[in-house]
Structure 1
């Protein structure tokens, strides 16, 4: 597959790194020779030093033979224009990164399609949805729903109160347990567990289950006494903050603390009346105490500084906040955030890359989620007629090492999978895999 990425910024560079190991024909295009030089020395890809909106530049990149043209520069207008030009020059499919929510409305999809912009991605909106999922349940690190919630993936950290510490998985009830442990994150290592593996203190454990059994998982994880989130304090009045308040359930009350007075004025116009906007420094302990941090169950740090967000979450934890969420755009800081026990980490690059990666898969993949801490991905495949995965029970199908089936959805109902399960045509199968292995799994489902 020939893929042209226009924009060697944070998202484009991260996407190029992910795809360069997939034996794809990757061309990275940017008008900054310096940016291209840094990445071409480390990755197996071709670079083109031209503006993404240059017709001659796109011709030089070979856009006429491109299967996918991805425009992810920081400039929305440039991305849209680049996609229009790429389509006219022969690119089969285009994707543009945007920052205007209005463009995503279903009524505009056909309009943009006729212009040559086939798909739109709004990383801030995707990040906001992840934040809301994270704070709705204070004891969960990561949460993902499949087929409208028929099957759930959740990750939670094991504390001293967990009932399942140091118990080999094969002793937990065998095929009768109402969950499947698909992965364990231990320090810097991600483990796809076997029956003789056991869960240790401070492991982050990823479960697949159905909604009915979430309270049971909360109990065995020792999290029953953690307070449910009713009040959220957000530090930084970014676009993500605005979207997050709009997606919050009605029972959660939000406050935004923003240091820029003019931005505060703008925020009062953008957010609902129930959201309180406070002009001040979210690092000011006295201000936080005055605004009720002691009665706040969740603290979300969304400033432009990863360091500030991490430190602010640490301070909030020391003041008794149960759940913290930090936007960490510097990838090098993510492992540090985990070692410091920051709750949920949000990274727009990972989120955007997951959604774009989904678009380049040949199989019918409904969902792809990058698990920030675990260097792993979860994908929801729809099984096609006569697919190889239907030919034998799961234990005999020969999935590659580093991949495991977390569950399936059949006729709208979530089901856990054992080695004897026989997967059928039209099942939605949830697969957990290390690294970016999803491409290798396509042959099982096509």
Structure 2
């Protein structure tokens, strides 16, 4: 497939890297240094120029593209590139639009061949999901919200430390599909022994958490109060979402005028004007009694520093938003509780919209160390009617859970995929192609 990507920033370059192995990628960016870096690191065709310039788009031969993905950091560039691509008949267009005002009036954005992603909305949904499961390090939903994937940390003294998975009994509402140990993700077997410090990836039913809580030795904790740092698009969207859930929300914004705007826009949110890396500002906001501290500015360093300070001053939990992939290792090493990648969240949404190779939904895990793929079983799917044990599933992947109508099934070897089933698969990179082949259409 020929795909043109406009914008080689964090999101565009990440998409190019993950799509270039299977597709012909042309990437456009106006920054010379960025283009040179992409040339040196990726097997893609690069063009230096403005993504909204028709001459540049002609050079990229956009008219031959099956997909155009406009993900530059400038909404107007993305909109103009989308308009041009639509006018010459590109069949599928995905546009990143961050300013919600643009979503209100342009009729072209509502056309079926144009799919719009909004970074603020995507990230806000991720954060809201984390708040609902405060003991989880990450939370994602699959199968149209029927299935949840949680990343859970095995703490010292937890009931499951030192136990083999086979000793935990047959999975009912939840199943452990992968373990991350020392930065490496593996698909476990029944003989895998859990250790303190491990991270577990679990699939299950969002409304049934009691079994997980018992195994991890945690108690359900209600989140009543949240402090948010950053009054940008993400911060204000999260503040609005949480206040509508009845949570007490305080927001810290360093710009005085912006703080005034937010106070008027969100009357149920208490807004503070100040620097979140200043302990006095955090104390004034009551950080010591906060159930959750969310650092959501556009500055990675600021987010990490304010979160560390908040934890030092007594906040129960802290989550940081980060843009640069290098920060994930730093964040986990220094003791910040949770981290959400803007580029990974946005890229996952875009990859799902592409629906390549019969995949209904896809999500990259831990910057691409693994993938979660969803497949819908149709009458033409190769494995329809064949027991899972007879399929020859690769060792680096596992069918974790199945949605069949309103029922959720944790499959065993004798499970037989039926038409209408949606299977959620956890796969390591080396197994992805084999998994896609298994679920291909006859």
TM-score over 0.5 (shorter chain): yes
- How many Å separate the matches in 2 of 1:7 and 1:144? 27
Q: 2:136 aligns with which of 120, 133, 140?
A: 140
1:82 maps onto 2:66 in alignment:
no
Q: Secondary structure at the match of 1:213?
A: coil
Q: Deviations over 1:321-372 (max 9, x none)?
A: 2221101111111111112232221121111111111233335544333333
TM-score (norm 1): 0.92
Q: Secondary structure at the match of 1:211?
A: coil
Please list every run of 5 or more consecutive structure 2 residues that lacks an aligned counterpart in the other structure: none
Q: Does 1:333 align with 2:323?
A: no
Change (3 A) 1:316 1:214: same
Rate the CA distance shift 1:148–1:54 in 2: closer, same or farther, 3 A. closer
Match of 2:67 in 1: 68
CA offset at residue 241 of structure 1? 0.6
Q: How many residues align?
A: 439
Coordinate RMSD, CA, aligned: 2.2
1:216 aligns with 2:208: no
Return closer, same or farther for 1:363/1:17 CA change in 2, 3 Å cut-off.
closer
| Pairing of 1:9-408 with structure 2 (within 5 A) | 9-20=9-20, 22-104=21-103, 111-112=108-109, 114=111, 118-173=114-169, 175-224=170-219, 227-248=221-242, 249-271=244-266, 273-363=267-357, 365-372=359-366, 375-408=369-402
Q: 1:165 to 1:177 in 2, by over 3 A?
A: farther
Q: 1:140 to 1:268 in 2, by over 3 A?
A: same
Q: Deviation per CA, 1:274-303, whole angstroms, max 9, x where unpaired? A: 111001111222332232212111000012
Contact between 1:382 and 1:429, CA under 8 Å: does it hold in 2?
A: yes
What do residues 101-152 of structure 1 show as CA deviations (whole Å, max 9, x unaligned)? 35557xx7964355x9611111121011111111222111111223454322
User: Does 2:3 match 1:3?
Assistant: yes
| Contact kept in structure 1, 2:28 and 2:49, CA below 8 Å | yes
Contact 2:75 2:98 in 1 (8 A): yes
Cα distance, 1:440–1:88 mapped onto 2, change above 3 Å:
farther
Gaps of 5+ in 1: none
Superposed displacement of residue 82, structure 1: 0.6
Matches of 1:57 and 1:147 in 2, distance apart?
A: 40
User: Are 2:71 and 2:78, in contact at CA under 8 Å, matched by a contact in 1?
Assistant: yes
Bigger shift: 175-184 or 191-200? 175-184
User: What is the SS of the residue equivalent to 1:242?
Assistant: helix
- 1:398 Cα deviation (Å)? 2.2
Shift of 1:201: 0.5
CA distance in 2, matches of 1:130, 1:143: 7
TM-score (norm 2): 0.93
Q: What is the CA distance between 1:167 and its match in structure 2?
A: 0.9
The CA distance in 2 between the partners of 1:347 and 1:292, in whole Å, is: 27
Please tell me whether the aligned partners of residues 347 and 372 of structure 1 are also in contact (alpha carbons under 8 angstroms): no
Secondary structure of 1:245's partner? Answer: helix
Secondary structure of 2:227 counterpart: strand
For residue 431 of structure 1, give the secondary structure of its aligned residue in structure 2.
strand
Distance 1:140 1:88 in 2: 45
Structure 2 SS opposite 1:390: coil
